[in-house]
Structure 1
């Protein structure tokens, strides 16, 4: 099978995983080793966490990761991956739609089949333009786009206004060519049902503390579930504990408390 035929087959497989027959549980990797272990655990596909990948390379989350470092890391992940892989590229690391499309093209050349692209704090029209540029380019259009809106994650609105804003943004991203809508920062079954009813696209929720609510959220219309940086934080909390015991520093109690409180903000501050 040629490289292009293999990529097309993986893209088709990844798209079918969003078909609503069963929940798509999409664990988040950050390097080749974590990707290989997730495959060993039985993951049908793998996504990256932009925060975890950036931290693993010594950068803070939030657009600080150099393009070359991202592509090098993805190359390592793809070297061990046999399942479909989707890469979180934050806002595309550029405000220029054509530059974002060029980055997606480079990722596709490595064998990636999907990207996660967010609006963040920028006007939603900018993400519409980025999605449009990706779909307009022959070298980047064959990709599964998971369009993320940060309405809830950034507390841009609340209550009915937040639902209306989320529906409006994701509808625009869908019209521009997005395949799936990602709404981090909320796990309400009631809100999930409202969003699923109002949108003609698969929806992705991020669950940071386990999967006890997956059945109810899937019933409400959410088909894809990811974990973001939670696996990285858990793994490195274990490293912090084990290193403290190994070093015999006399800080075991303090380090145990620190490991329990290893949050996104604390790790991100290490690289600020």
Structure 2
């Protein structure tokens, strides 16, 4: 059953338009996204962390992630891919063990990042995860997030070159996809796509071409990242601030009706 879900998820990277992931952060938001017709749901590690009272950036305990994923899997029927940051460990074996806890829950894929680590660190984790998945006779789509653009890990003139170099290292280790948040320019995207054998995933960002232009560039996946969760938390802050100040609750036309939410979660 799990292999079928992963196969379904893998095929979503071969459609004419990129797979669009409106990243969720809990069971409720995952259910809302699925109900809108999403072919798959992805998590935002930042949104998950904030919703559980942690800062983003490798601080969320694996137990909290497991719990969040369990709750999402309970309400979802479409494939779920989970942002696992760095695998919650610097050690490949521990990272693989952590990921297998999520694989056992039935997830279809993961995002695992390099951050400021040397590429060899992530490559070792990919190898360990691939080995663990193979031993368990399951399957998993391993999407590697490289922060070359996002964190400026190379001089501007070398960002594309460094991204391609890392992509080849990760592909050799067993990665199934490359996520390059922060890449925007069509010529840069085209160059990366032409030089790698992995489907390219980009993140929604001001200045990024629209989904149809991305399709022409052979981008295979588009993620919202933490954006939707940031808007949601911002709306919560604004409503609560007004209520605490005046006692008035300014519900907007965007508020979901109580009955609709009951129906969705039922």
Q: Who is 1:265 aligned against?
A: none
**Would you say the 8 A contact 1:132–1:176 is kept in 2?**
yes
Alpha-carbon separation, structure 1, partners of 2:243 and 2:156: 49
* Aligned position for 2:183: 186
Deviations for 1:4-45, whole angstroms, at most 9, x for unmatched residues? x2x111111100000142211011010000000001111100
Aligned to 1:225: 222
Instruction: State the SS of the aligned residue for 1:134.
Output: helix
Matches of 1:17 and 1:66, distance apart in 2: 30
- Post-superposition offset of 1:215: 1.6
**Aligned position for 1:50:** 45
Gaps of 5+ in 2: 250-266
- Partner residue in 2 for 1:12: 7
CA distance in 1, matches of 2:130, 2:38: 28
How far apart, CA to CA, are the structure 2 residues paired with 1:223 and 1:214? 10
- 1:72 and 2:67 matched: yes
Instruction: Quote the residue 2:160 is aligned against.
Output: 163
Seen in structure 2, the aligned counterparts of structure 1 residues 36 and 221 have a Cα distance that, compared at 3 Å, is same
Is residue 135 of structure 1 aligned with residue 99 of structure 2?
no
Q: How many aligned residue pairs are there? A: 247
Query: TM-score normalised to the size of structure 1?
Result: 0.86
2:101 to 76, 98, 106: 106
Q: Residues of 1 paired with 2:224 and 2:184: CA distance?
A: 12
Q: Aligned partners of 2:191, 2:104: CA distance in 1, in Å? A: 38
Q: 1:170 to 1:212 in 2, by over 3 A?
A: closer
| RMSD, aligned CA | 1.9
In structure 1, the residue corresponding to 2:14 is in which secondary structure?
Answer: coil
Q: Report the alpha carbon displacement of residue 211 of structure 1 after superposing the two structures with TM.
A: 7.6
2: CA distance, partners of 1:133 / 1:112 = 18
SS in 1 for 2:182: coil
What SS does the aligned partner of 2:197 have?
coil
Is contact 2:185–2:208 with CA below 8 Å preserved after alignment?
Answer: no
Establish whether residue 88 from structure 1 lines up as the match of residue 66 from structure 2.
Answer: no
Specify the SS of the correspondent of 1:135.
Answer: helix
